[in-house]
Amino acid sequence: MSSYPLPDEKGYFGQFGGKFVPETVMPALKELEEAYLEAKKDKDGFQKELRNYLRDYAGRPTSLYFAEELTKKLGGAKIYLKREDLAHTGAHKINNTLGQVLLARRMNKSRIIAETGAGQHGVATATAAAVLGLPCQIYMGEVDIQRQRLNVFRMELLGAKVIPVSSGSCTLKDAINEAIRDWVTNIRTTHYVLGSVVGPHPYPMMVRDFQSVIGKETREQILVKEKRLPHYLVACVGGGSNSMGLFYPFLADEVKLIGVEAGGLGLSSEKHGATLAKGNVGILHGSKSYLLQDKNGQVLSTHSLAAGLDYPGVGPEHSYLKETGRAKYYSVTDEEALEAFQMLSELEGIIPALESAHAIAYLKRLAPSLEKDKIIVVNLSGRGDKDVEQVAQVLKNKI
């Protein structure tokens, strides 16, 4: 997008981004950036192969669905769901993993590693590695392994080795730490498939670009259905890849962008993942961005019912969009997300991922406040199969 030339050549979105990594990692990042920029220009080779995999293997384009019953229930604006839950493996994650594993093969890397929280990125990485013939190891916190046992089994079934992480809070942050350690040790042979728009440059740019297929399809589909652009785009934000993928192709348009973070047990409880609401600027996992930290700069523990939002940082581009006011960020609690999980299931016959349920929950505030001729598109970033057992247990405990 010529009107939005970010990141700059050093990997910054305004003051956010960059490369804050050990010297041993810098050559690998430079190699990755050069390979990616070459692949981006390779229309008849890399880009064509990726498009073919996304279409024939991942099932793109995913549908844009008018949620008529949800619209009636909430009143006000028309609500459309971008159905990333229909993509192969059940979430948007496959868009990025196919791109990165194809790139790894182009770079002659012989091994794939990744981290995962909710397990969807791990499953998508294991899937891409399987179909493209590369061995794969996935780091996952022990807490997440317990609440996402189904996804752990899926990864192992796909041929990946799942490595439990028992340090720190035993969640996504700690899994990323271990994956980075592995990458530093095996940098010549290994490609690290980072799962969100976080980390050192070029990852935030590269993951955004791979995920922007979501927004590009949404633009084309809504113009066919409504002959106009939506008034609001809504998506959940953990690290922020599904939301950046939706937002990016609309940045130059007069469309309001809303990211929804994990409010957990409430913003005053200190048990949440609302980085943009409660965090401040610091450095985490190789880039400068907003993060949840104490007055001494120590990264705080987070909480969310949704494992994929249980992360103390956020992508640097989201920090830039917040600072410039281009996007607005809000939070919803575990309780609100749980209600939205049940509401969408009952009204539309669609069981959303708990992460996506946060975006659905925000509609209860937004949709009724708008006129009936307004249009909202929500990114339904994943399906809730992985969360059904966890939700059943939570609801059982409430009875």
As a whole number of angstroms, the distance between CA 77 and CA 335 comes to 24
What angle in degrees, to the nearest 10, is found between the helix axes of 120-131 and 149-157? 10
From the candidates 115, 217, 317, 348, which is the catalytic residue?
A: 115
From the candidates 93, 173, 322, 386, which is the catalytic residue?
A: 93
From the candidates 287, 317, 381, 386, which is the catalytic residue?
A: 381
Phi first, then psi, for residue 199 (nearest 5°) are: 85, 180
Inter-CA distances, 29 with 96, 134, 179, Å: 17, 20, 15
Residues 98/57, Cβ–Cβ less than 8 Å: yes
DSSP state for residue 188 in the 8-state scheme: T
Q: Is 328 an annotated catalytic residue?
A: no
- Is the torsion defined by CA of 323, 289, 30, 43 positive or negative? negative
Inter-CA distances, 351 with 127, 166, 280, 388, Å: 22, 31, 34, 9
Burial (CB < 10 A; 0-12, 13-18, 19+), residue 198, is buried
Question: In a 3-state reduction of DSSP, which class is residue 325?
Answer: coil
Instruction: Quickly list DSSP for 262-294.
Output: EEET-TTTT-SB-HHHH-EEEEETTEEEEE-B-
The tokens of 299 are what?
């990264």
Q: Is 115 an annotated catalytic residue?
A: yes
- Is the torsion defined by CA of 391, 397, 398, 399 positive or negative? positive
Type and span of the H or E element at 35 = helix 26-41
Q: Is 261 an annotated catalytic residue?
A: no
Instruction: Quickly list DSSP for 332-393.
Output: EEHHHHHHHHHHHHHHHS--B-HHHHHHHHHHHHHGGGS-TT-EEEEEE-BBGGGGHHHHHH
Inter-CA distances, 264 with 4, 163, 309, 333, Å: 33, 27, 10, 5
As a whole number of angstroms, the distance between CA 314 and CA 291 comes to 7
φ/ψ region of 193 (left if φ > 0, alpha if ψ in -120 to 50, else beta) reads beta
As a whole number of angstroms, the distance between CA 268 and CA 399 comes to 26
As a whole number of angstroms, the distance between CA 277 and CA 273 comes to 9
- What positions carry a catalytic annotation? 93, 115, 381
